[in-house]
Structure 1
Amino acid sequence: MPQSATTGYSLLQRFLHWAVALLVFFNLLFPDGMNAWRHIVRRGDTPSAADISAANIHAYLGIAILILAVLRLFLRSFHGVPAHSAEEPKVFQVAARIAHGALYLLIFAMPLSGMAAYYFGVDLAGSIHAGILKAILWTLIGAHIAGALVHQFYWQTNALRRMTIG
């Protein structure tokens, strides 16, 4: 479905956006359980039940992010997304498409690399997951938030409204 097929996001699209955002922020801000588990295992020690539980929370939320992201893409393919506003210069429209594509890519790559490390013992995947992918994700989140604020306060579009109250 073309991007201009709709004028707003559905309630389910908005819910999935904010659910994924909250879960991503939680896992980015509170990875301590997974980090502790990883260090214990790398030393060759046996993690405690509490260490495993804390790591599982991080892992299960990552799996939830992956499932919700699949649902988001499925819904997006049927419902579409609103067109870019006329106030937004073409170069920023292209940048927004690239940034959104990269965000989706990372929303898939982060859980998959984390699962490769945690469940299959691929240490390189864990290093990439906790290193470069995490740094790129933080950068893209910052750009996404900055873009939303530019829309709201500089171009004065309804982009924030479309993703909050509809």
Structure 2
Amino acid sequence: MPQTPTKYNNIQVALHWLVALLVVLMLFMGSVVLAQIPNTDPAKLTALRGHMVIAVVVFVLTLVRIVWRRASRQPDHAETGNALLDKLGIAAHFALNILVLLVAASGIGIALQAGLPTIVFGGTGTLPPDLSIYLPRLVHGVLTKLLIALIALHVAGALYHQFVLKDRLFRRVWFGRVVSK
């Protein structure tokens, strides 16, 4: 019978931190950079191009993370000593992946409805005056707010494990040799 690893394997660790970094970058780009540039400004096309390319990378890497996780042996779920918090932690991890995929899907919906691939990558046409006329834009906005809230809870939970419970949780999601128990 295979033993349970005490940490995630290095591929999972790399995917976790790469996706985390890119998601934070995307949330910043969308809510701070893109939101401030009028659709009439040519700089908006450059910013949208970067946002859209990175979004596709995040979407693909998240799918790879999910597949790799299912194909790899996993450490036991981190426990807090509270059954409700333990269940919420499991649900939060599932929800993070789902929200990232849904945010990307709603972004694809905006792009397709607004004709953004042709405008942003093909150089044909101009941006609509306001992207909020498209339903996926409303969904995208709501989902990104939920994602930000869930990321904040995830970080708070990780810090709680590391510094209050002192269970060395960060070792599980950092590079190094995988040891089994």
Task: State the TM-score bracket (shorter-chain normalisation).
Answer: 0.7 to 0.9
Alignment of 1:101-120 (within 5 A): 101-120=94-113
| 1:154 aligned residue | 164
C-alpha contact (below 8 Å) 1:6/1:80 kept by paired residues: yes
Amino acid at match of 2:35: N
Change (3 A) 1:85 1:99: closer
State the shift of 1:155 in Å.
1.4
C-alpha contact (below 8 Å) 1:114/1:129 kept by paired residues: yes
Work out which of the residue numbers 143, 153, 160 in structure 2 matches 1:143: 153
Amino acid at match of 1:140: L
TM-score by length of structure 2 reads 0.77
Give the count of matched residue pairs. 155
Find the aligned partners of 1:133 and 1:126 in 2 and give their Cα distance. 10
Amino acid at match of 1:106: L
Find the aligned partners of 2:147 and 2:79 in 1 and give their Cα distance. 28
TM-score by length of structure 1 reads 0.83
| 2:73 aligned residue | 80
Change (3 A) 1:145 1:86: closer
Describe the SS at the equivalent of 2:6. coil
CA root-mean-square deviation: 2.1
Find the aligned partners of 1:162 and 1:109 in 2 and give their Cα distance. 27
State the shift of 1:51 in Å.
2.1
Runs of 4+ in 1 over 6 A off after TM superposition: none
| 1:123 aligned residue | 134
Change (3 A) 1:113 1:85: closer
Amino acid at match of 2:65: R
Per-residue deviation, residues 112-137 of structure 1 (Å, max 9, x unmatched): 1011102333811112212x111111
Change (3 A) 1:53 1:124: same
Where is the helix percentage greater, Structure 1 or Structure 2?
Answer: 1
Q: Which range moved further: 109-118 or 50-59? A: 50-59
Per-residue deviation, residues 27-75 of structure 1 (Å, max 9, x unmatched): 11122554367x52xxxx6x63x32121010111111110000110111
Find the aligned partners of 1:86 and 1:94 in 2 and give their Cα distance. 9
Larger radius of gyration: 2
- Give percent identity, aligned residues only: 28
Gaps (5+ residues) in structure 2? Answer: 115-132, 177-181
Gaps (5+ residues) in structure 1? Answer: none
Q: Which structure's relative contact order is higher, taking Cα pairs within 8 Å and 6+ residues apart? A: 2
